[in-house]
Structure 1
Protein backbone atom coordinates (compact mmCIF):
# COMPACT_ATOMS: atom_id res chain seq x y z
CA UNK A 1 0.00 0.00 0.00
CA UNK A 2 1.45 3.34 -1.01
CA UNK A 3 1.54 6.24 1.39
CA UNK A 4 1.48 9.88 0.47
CA UNK A 5 4.63 11.65 1.62
CA UNK A 6 3.49 15.19 0.78
CA UNK A 7 1.46 17.17 -1.68
CA UNK A 8 3.83 18.97 -4.04
CA UNK A 9 1.42 20.61 -6.44
CA UNK A 10 -1.07 23.39 -6.07
CA UNK A 11 -4.63 22.51 -5.03
CA UNK A 12 -6.69 21.30 -7.98
CA UNK A 13 -9.50 23.81 -7.40
CA UNK A 14 -9.16 27.50 -6.69
CA UNK A 15 -11.18 29.73 -4.41
CA UNK A 16 -12.53 31.58 -7.46
CA UNK A 17 -13.67 28.36 -9.20
CA UNK A 18 -15.48 27.10 -6.12
CA UNK A 19 -17.03 30.53 -5.51
CA UNK A 20 -18.29 30.64 -9.09
CA UNK A 21 -19.67 27.10 -8.88
CA UNK A 22 -21.45 28.00 -5.62
CA UNK A 23 -22.79 31.21 -7.21
CA UNK A 24 -21.23 33.33 -4.48
CA UNK A 25 -20.52 37.03 -4.71
CA UNK A 26 -16.92 37.93 -3.84
CA UNK A 27 -18.08 39.55 -0.61
CA UNK A 28 -19.80 36.28 0.43
CA UNK A 29 -16.74 34.05 0.02
CA UNK A 30 -15.68 32.34 3.21
CA UNK A 31 -12.02 31.87 2.34
CA UNK A 32 -11.06 29.64 5.27
CA UNK A 33 -14.06 27.37 4.79
CA UNK A 34 -13.42 26.88 1.08
CA UNK A 35 -9.60 26.68 1.12
CA UNK A 36 -9.11 24.72 4.33
CA UNK A 37 -12.14 22.45 4.41
CA UNK A 38 -14.05 22.15 1.16
CA UNK A 39 -11.21 21.96 -1.39
CA UNK A 40 -9.11 19.48 0.64
CA UNK A 41 -12.27 17.51 1.42
CA UNK A 42 -13.42 17.02 -2.16
CA UNK A 43 -9.83 16.27 -3.21
CA UNK A 44 -9.64 13.54 -0.56
CA UNK A 45 -13.04 12.20 -1.66
CA UNK A 46 -11.97 11.98 -5.30
CA UNK A 47 -8.66 10.31 -4.39
CA UNK A 48 -10.35 7.82 -2.07
CA UNK A 49 -13.09 6.97 -4.55
CA UNK A 50 -10.73 6.50 -7.51
CA UNK A 51 -7.50 5.21 -5.97
CA UNK A 52 -5.74 7.81 -8.13
CA UNK A 53 -3.72 10.86 -7.19
CA UNK A 54 -5.78 13.92 -8.06
CA UNK A 55 -3.55 16.64 -6.60
CA UNK A 56 0.12 16.14 -7.46
CA UNK A 57 1.95 14.48 -4.60
CA UNK A 58 4.94 12.31 -3.79
CA UNK A 59 4.22 8.70 -2.79
CA UNK A 60 6.26 5.86 -1.39
CA UNK A 61 5.47 2.18 -1.55
CA UNK A 62 7.24 -1.02 -0.68
CA UNK A 63 7.60 -3.93 -3.07
CA UNK A 64 8.27 -7.31 -1.53
CA UNK A 65 10.85 -9.38 -3.38
CA UNK A 66 8.07 -11.46 -4.97
CA UNK A 67 6.67 -8.45 -6.87
CA UNK A 68 8.05 -8.60 -10.42
CA UNK A 69 9.10 -5.93 -12.87
CA UNK A 70 6.07 -4.67 -14.79
CA UNK A 71 3.82 -4.61 -11.73
CA UNK A 72 1.35 -1.75 -11.19
CA UNK A 73 1.97 1.02 -8.69
CA UNK A 74 -0.68 1.29 -5.98
CA UNK A 75 -1.69 4.87 -6.78
CA UNK A 76 -3.08 5.68 -10.21
CA UNK A 77 -1.81 8.58 -12.33
CA UNK A 78 1.88 8.09 -11.47
CA UNK A 79 4.04 10.25 -13.70
CA UNK A 80 7.66 9.94 -12.57
CA UNK A 81 9.81 7.56 -10.53
CA UNK A 82 11.89 9.65 -8.11
CA UNK A 83 13.99 6.94 -6.48
CA UNK A 84 14.37 3.23 -5.87
CA UNK A 85 15.95 1.86 -2.72
CA UNK A 86 16.44 -1.56 -1.11
CA UNK A 87 16.11 -2.55 2.52
CA UNK A 88 19.34 -3.72 4.09
CA UNK A 89 19.39 -6.49 6.73
CA UNK A 90 19.54 -3.87 9.51
CA UNK A 91 16.41 -2.09 8.21
CA UNK A 92 18.00 0.91 6.54
CA UNK A 93 17.21 1.85 2.95
CA UNK A 94 20.11 1.66 0.52
CA UNK A 95 19.63 3.91 -2.54
CA UNK A 96 19.94 2.07 -5.84
CA UNK A 97 20.99 3.37 -9.22
CA UNK A 98 18.78 1.37 -11.55
CA UNK A 99 17.09 2.15 -14.82
CA UNK A 100 13.31 2.28 -14.64
CA UNK A 101 10.55 2.71 -17.18
CA UNK A 102 7.10 3.89 -16.20
CA UNK A 103 4.32 2.80 -18.53
CA UNK A 104 1.38 5.09 -17.86
CA UNK A 105 -2.01 3.79 -18.91
CA UNK A 106 -5.34 5.58 -18.56
CA UNK A 107 -5.98 4.31 -15.07
CA UNK A 108 -2.81 2.63 -13.87
CA UNK A 109 0.94 3.02 -14.13
CA UNK A 110 3.28 0.03 -14.39
CA UNK A 111 6.93 0.07 -13.26
CA UNK A 112 9.51 -1.86 -15.29
CA UNK A 113 13.18 -2.50 -14.66
CA UNK A 114 14.60 -2.91 -18.21
CA UNK A 115 17.93 -4.27 -16.92
CA UNK A 116 16.26 -6.66 -14.47
CA UNK A 117 14.55 -6.13 -11.15
CA UNK A 118 16.97 -5.63 -8.27
CA UNK A 119 16.79 -8.38 -5.64
CA UNK A 120 15.32 -7.75 -2.21
CA UNK A 121 12.49 -5.69 -0.80
CA UNK A 122 12.32 -2.35 -2.59
CA UNK A 123 11.17 1.13 -1.59
CA UNK A 124 9.89 3.13 -4.55
CA UNK A 125 9.21 6.87 -4.44
CA UNK A 126 7.23 8.43 -7.24
CA UNK A 127 5.25 11.46 -8.23
CA UNK A 128 1.59 11.17 -9.22
CA UNK A 129 -1.23 13.54 -10.09
CA UNK A 130 -4.06 13.66 -12.60
CA UNK A 131 -3.85 15.67 -15.82
CA UNK A 132 -7.10 17.63 -15.61
CA UNK A 133 -6.86 18.74 -19.24
CA UNK A 134 -7.02 15.10 -20.28
CA UNK A 135 -9.71 14.26 -17.70
CA UNK A 136 -11.98 17.33 -17.37
CA UNK A 137 -14.77 15.28 -15.79
CA UNK A 138 -12.68 15.04 -12.63
CA UNK A 139 -12.79 18.83 -12.22
CA UNK A 140 -16.56 18.80 -12.87
CA UNK A 141 -17.07 16.10 -10.22
CA UNK A 142 -14.99 18.06 -7.73
CA UNK A 143 -16.77 21.35 -8.40
CA UNK A 144 -20.21 19.75 -8.06
CA UNK A 145 -19.20 18.12 -4.81
CA UNK A 146 -17.60 21.34 -3.56
CA UNK A 147 -20.87 23.21 -4.18
CA UNK A 148 -22.80 20.49 -2.36
CA UNK A 149 -20.35 20.61 0.55
CA UNK A 150 -20.72 24.39 0.70
CA UNK A 151 -24.51 24.37 0.56
CA UNK A 152 -24.93 21.52 3.07
CA UNK A 153 -21.88 21.98 5.27
CA UNK A 154 -23.65 20.82 8.42
CA UNK A 155 -24.09 17.13 9.14
CA UNK A 156 -27.87 17.43 9.46
CA UNK A 157 -30.25 19.44 7.33
CA UNK A 158 -33.59 19.89 9.09
CA UNK A 159 -36.81 20.47 7.23
CA UNK A 160 -35.34 19.81 3.78
CA UNK A 161 -35.55 16.75 1.58
CA UNK A 162 -32.42 16.22 -0.46
CA UNK A 163 -32.47 14.25 -3.67
CA UNK A 164 -29.04 13.14 -4.81
CA UNK A 165 -27.97 12.88 -8.40
CA UNK A 166 -27.59 9.20 -9.30
CA UNK A 167 -24.20 7.79 -8.29
CA UNK A 168 -23.83 6.28 -11.74
CA UNK A 169 -23.86 9.78 -13.25
CA UNK A 170 -21.51 11.31 -10.70
CA UNK A 171 -19.12 8.36 -10.66
CA UNK A 172 -18.91 8.32 -14.44
CA UNK A 173 -17.07 11.65 -14.20
CA UNK A 174 -14.29 9.84 -12.31
CA UNK A 175 -14.32 6.58 -14.26
CA UNK A 176 -11.40 7.50 -16.53
CA UNK A 177 -8.98 7.56 -13.60
CA UNK A 178 -10.54 4.98 -11.26
CA UNK A 179 -8.06 2.22 -10.51
CA UNK A 180 -9.65 -1.24 -10.98
CA UNK A 181 -10.29 -3.30 -7.84
CA UNK A 182 -7.51 -5.67 -6.86
CA UNK A 183 -8.13 -8.82 -4.87
Structure 2
Protein backbone atom coordinates (compact mmCIF):
# COMPACT_ATOMS: atom_id res chain seq x y z
CA UNK A 1 0.00 0.00 0.00
CA UNK A 2 1.44 3.36 -1.01
CA UNK A 3 1.91 6.13 1.55
CA UNK A 4 1.31 9.76 0.66
CA UNK A 5 4.44 11.67 1.63
CA UNK A 6 3.31 15.20 0.76
CA UNK A 7 0.94 17.15 -1.44
CA UNK A 8 2.30 19.66 -3.93
CA UNK A 9 0.56 22.31 -5.96
CA UNK A 10 -2.78 23.92 -5.29
CA UNK A 11 -5.93 22.16 -4.06
CA UNK A 12 -8.08 20.78 -6.91
CA UNK A 13 -10.98 23.17 -6.27
CA UNK A 14 -11.18 26.82 -5.30
CA UNK A 15 -13.63 28.66 -3.10
CA UNK A 16 -14.88 30.46 -6.21
CA UNK A 17 -15.60 27.20 -8.06
CA UNK A 18 -17.55 25.80 -5.12
CA UNK A 19 -19.46 29.09 -4.75
CA UNK A 20 -20.38 29.04 -8.45
CA UNK A 21 -21.55 25.41 -8.17
CA UNK A 22 -23.67 26.33 -5.12
CA UNK A 23 -24.98 29.47 -6.86
CA UNK A 24 -23.79 31.61 -3.95
CA UNK A 25 -21.43 34.59 -3.95
CA UNK A 26 -18.04 33.53 -2.63
CA UNK A 27 -18.03 36.36 -0.06
CA UNK A 28 -21.27 34.89 1.39
CA UNK A 29 -19.64 31.51 2.05
CA UNK A 30 -17.55 30.45 5.04
CA UNK A 31 -14.03 30.25 3.54
CA UNK A 32 -12.60 28.17 6.41
CA UNK A 33 -15.36 25.57 6.08
CA UNK A 34 -14.93 25.30 2.30
CA UNK A 35 -11.12 25.47 2.11
CA UNK A 36 -10.19 23.52 5.23
CA UNK A 37 -12.92 20.88 5.49
CA UNK A 38 -15.06 20.49 2.38
CA UNK A 39 -12.44 20.72 -0.40
CA UNK A 40 -9.87 18.46 1.35
CA UNK A 41 -12.69 16.13 2.41
CA UNK A 42 -14.16 15.60 -1.05
CA UNK A 43 -10.65 15.26 -2.50
CA UNK A 44 -9.84 12.52 0.04
CA UNK A 45 -13.17 10.79 -0.64
CA UNK A 46 -12.54 10.79 -4.39
CA UNK A 47 -8.99 9.47 -3.91
CA UNK A 48 -10.26 6.75 -1.59
CA UNK A 49 -13.10 5.77 -3.92
CA UNK A 50 -10.97 5.66 -7.09
CA UNK A 51 -7.52 4.65 -5.88
CA UNK A 52 -6.20 7.50 -8.04
CA UNK A 53 -4.24 10.55 -6.96
CA UNK A 54 -6.55 13.51 -7.52
CA UNK A 55 -4.38 16.27 -6.06
CA UNK A 56 -0.69 16.18 -6.96
CA UNK A 57 1.33 14.34 -4.31
CA UNK A 58 4.47 12.30 -3.76
CA UNK A 59 3.85 8.67 -2.83
CA UNK A 60 6.12 5.95 -1.54
CA UNK A 61 5.52 2.23 -1.73
CA UNK A 62 7.51 -0.87 -0.91
CA UNK A 63 7.78 -3.70 -3.42
CA UNK A 64 8.70 -7.18 -2.23
CA UNK A 65 11.31 -9.09 -4.20
CA UNK A 66 8.61 -11.07 -6.04
CA UNK A 67 7.15 -7.96 -7.78
CA UNK A 68 8.60 -8.18 -11.26
CA UNK A 69 9.14 -5.58 -13.94
CA UNK A 70 5.80 -4.37 -15.29
CA UNK A 71 3.98 -4.48 -11.96
CA UNK A 72 1.33 -1.78 -11.35
CA UNK A 73 1.93 0.98 -8.84
CA UNK A 74 -0.63 1.17 -6.03
CA UNK A 75 -1.86 4.69 -6.81
CA UNK A 76 -3.36 5.54 -10.18
CA UNK A 77 -2.27 8.59 -12.20
CA UNK A 78 1.45 8.22 -11.41
CA UNK A 79 3.39 10.46 -13.76
CA UNK A 80 7.01 10.71 -12.64
CA UNK A 81 9.50 8.60 -10.71
CA UNK A 82 11.34 10.37 -7.91
CA UNK A 83 13.61 7.56 -6.69
CA UNK A 84 14.09 3.81 -6.45
CA UNK A 85 15.89 2.42 -3.42
CA UNK A 86 16.88 -1.20 -2.78
CA UNK A 87 17.15 -2.78 0.63
CA UNK A 88 20.57 -4.14 1.48
CA UNK A 89 21.22 -7.26 3.60
CA UNK A 90 22.14 -5.02 6.56
CA UNK A 91 18.73 -3.28 6.37
CA UNK A 92 19.93 -0.01 4.86
CA UNK A 93 18.50 1.48 1.68
CA UNK A 94 20.65 2.44 -1.33
CA UNK A 95 19.42 4.51 -4.27
CA UNK A 96 19.42 2.70 -7.60
CA UNK A 97 20.22 4.36 -10.91
CA UNK A 98 19.02 1.60 -13.21
CA UNK A 99 17.02 2.40 -16.36
CA UNK A 100 13.28 2.46 -15.65
CA UNK A 101 10.18 3.20 -17.68
CA UNK A 102 6.91 4.42 -16.21
CA UNK A 103 3.96 3.62 -18.46
CA UNK A 104 0.84 5.55 -17.55
CA UNK A 105 -2.45 3.98 -18.54
CA UNK A 106 -5.90 5.47 -18.12
CA UNK A 107 -6.37 3.94 -14.69
CA UNK A 108 -3.04 2.46 -13.64
CA UNK A 109 0.66 3.15 -14.08
CA UNK A 110 3.18 0.35 -14.54
CA UNK A 111 6.88 0.33 -13.70
CA UNK A 112 9.19 -1.48 -16.11
CA UNK A 113 12.90 -2.20 -15.78
CA UNK A 114 14.16 -2.50 -19.39
CA UNK A 115 17.40 -4.05 -18.16
CA UNK A 116 17.49 -5.98 -14.92
CA UNK A 117 15.26 -5.27 -11.94
CA UNK A 118 17.35 -4.56 -8.83
CA UNK A 119 17.37 -7.57 -6.54
CA UNK A 120 15.46 -7.69 -3.27
CA UNK A 121 12.83 -5.38 -1.83
CA UNK A 122 12.45 -1.94 -3.42
CA UNK A 123 11.17 1.38 -2.09
CA UNK A 124 9.71 3.46 -4.91
CA UNK A 125 8.84 7.15 -4.70
CA UNK A 126 6.79 8.78 -7.42
CA UNK A 127 4.65 11.78 -8.21
CA UNK A 128 1.01 11.28 -9.07
CA UNK A 129 -1.92 13.57 -9.73
CA UNK A 130 -4.88 13.87 -12.04
CA UNK A 131 -5.13 16.35 -14.91
CA UNK A 132 -8.65 17.65 -14.32
CA UNK A 133 -8.73 19.30 -17.76
CA UNK A 134 -8.56 15.83 -19.31
CA UNK A 135 -11.06 14.39 -16.81
CA UNK A 136 -13.89 16.92 -16.45
CA UNK A 137 -16.20 14.28 -14.99
CA UNK A 138 -13.95 14.07 -11.94
CA UNK A 139 -14.10 17.84 -11.45
CA UNK A 140 -17.90 17.58 -11.74
CA UNK A 141 -17.89 14.81 -9.11
CA UNK A 142 -15.83 16.99 -6.77
CA UNK A 143 -18.02 20.04 -7.33
CA UNK A 144 -21.29 18.14 -6.89
CA UNK A 145 -19.95 16.52 -3.73
CA UNK A 146 -18.78 19.87 -2.34
CA UNK A 147 -22.11 21.55 -3.16
CA UNK A 148 -24.09 18.71 -1.61
CA UNK A 149 -22.09 18.94 1.60
CA UNK A 150 -22.38 22.72 1.66
CA UNK A 151 -26.15 22.64 1.11
CA UNK A 152 -26.80 19.79 3.58
CA UNK A 153 -24.09 20.02 6.26
CA UNK A 154 -26.23 18.33 8.89
CA UNK A 155 -26.20 15.12 6.82
CA UNK A 156 -22.49 14.99 5.94
CA UNK A 157 -20.39 17.02 8.39
CA UNK A 158 -19.42 14.97 11.41
CA UNK A 159 -17.14 17.10 13.56
CA UNK A 160 -14.15 17.89 11.33
CA UNK A 161 -14.72 15.02 8.85
CA UNK A 162 -17.18 14.19 6.10
CA UNK A 163 -19.59 11.28 5.87
CA UNK A 164 -19.67 9.33 2.59
CA UNK A 165 -21.87 10.65 -0.20
CA UNK A 166 -24.55 8.60 -1.95
CA UNK A 167 -22.97 6.82 -4.88
CA UNK A 168 -25.50 5.83 -7.54
CA UNK A 169 -25.01 8.69 -10.02
CA UNK A 170 -21.72 10.18 -8.87
CA UNK A 171 -19.65 6.99 -9.23
CA UNK A 172 -20.00 7.01 -13.00
CA UNK A 173 -18.22 10.37 -13.16
CA UNK A 174 -15.03 8.83 -11.73
CA UNK A 175 -15.26 5.40 -13.36
CA UNK A 176 -12.64 6.24 -16.00
CA UNK A 177 -9.90 6.67 -13.41
CA UNK A 178 -10.95 4.07 -10.82
CA UNK A 179 -8.14 1.59 -10.23
CA UNK A 180 -9.38 -2.03 -10.48
CA UNK A 181 -9.36 -4.13 -7.29
CA UNK A 182 -6.15 -6.08 -6.80
CA UNK A 183 -7.43 -9.10 -4.82
Normalised TM-score (structure 1): 0.92
CA distance in 1: counterparts of 2:156 and 2:167, whole angstroms: 21
CA distance in 1: counterparts of 2:144 and 2:173, whole angstroms: 11
CA distance in 2: counterparts of 1:98 and 1:174, whole angstroms: 35
Residue 22 of structure 1: CA displacement? 1.3
Distance change in 2, residues 1:118/1:39 (3 Å)? same
Cα deviations by residue, 1:34-73 (Å, 9 ceiling, x for unpaired):
0000000000000000000000000000000000000000
CA distance in 2: counterparts of 1:81 and 1:115, whole angstroms: 17
Matched, 1:83 2:83: yes
Specify the alignment match of 1:56 in structure 2.
56
Residue 156 of structure 1: CA displacement? 7.5
Specify the alignment match of 2:178 in structure 1.
178
Within 5 A, what are the aligned runs for 1:133-172?
133-155=133-155, 167-172=167-172
* Preserved CA contact (<8 Å) 2:149 2:156: no
Distance change in 2, residues 1:29/1:60 (3 Å)? same
Residue 152 of structure 1: CA displacement? 1.6
Specify the alignment match of 2:44 in structure 1.
44
CA distance in 2: counterparts of 1:36 and 1:91, whole angstroms: 39
Specify the alignment match of 2:126 in structure 1.
126
Normalised TM-score (structure 2): 0.92
Residue 98 of structure 1: CA displacement? 1.2
CA distance in 2: counterparts of 1:168 and 1:107, whole angstroms: 21
CA distance in 2: counterparts of 1:152 and 1:171, whole angstroms: 19
Q: For structure 1, which segment, 25-34 or 36-45, has the greater mean C-alpha deviation from structure 2 after superposition? A: 25-34
Number of residues paired by the alignment? 176
CA distance in 1: counterparts of 2:101 and 2:18, whole angstroms: 37
Residue 155 of structure 1: CA displacement? 4.2
Specify the alignment match of 2:162 in structure 1.
none
Which 5+ residue runs of structure 1 have no aligned equivalent? 158-164
* Secondary structure of 1:171's aligned partner: helix
Q: For structure 1, which segment, 24-33 or 65-74, has the greater mean C-alpha deviation from structure 2 after superposition? A: 24-33
Q: CA RMSD in A?
A: 1.6
CA distance in 2: counterparts of 1:24 and 1:92, whole angstroms: 55
Cα deviations by residue, 1:108-167 (Å, 9 ceiling, x for unpaired):
00000111111010000000001111111000000000001111222489xxxxxxx973
Which 5+ residue runs of structure 2 have no aligned equivalent? 158-164
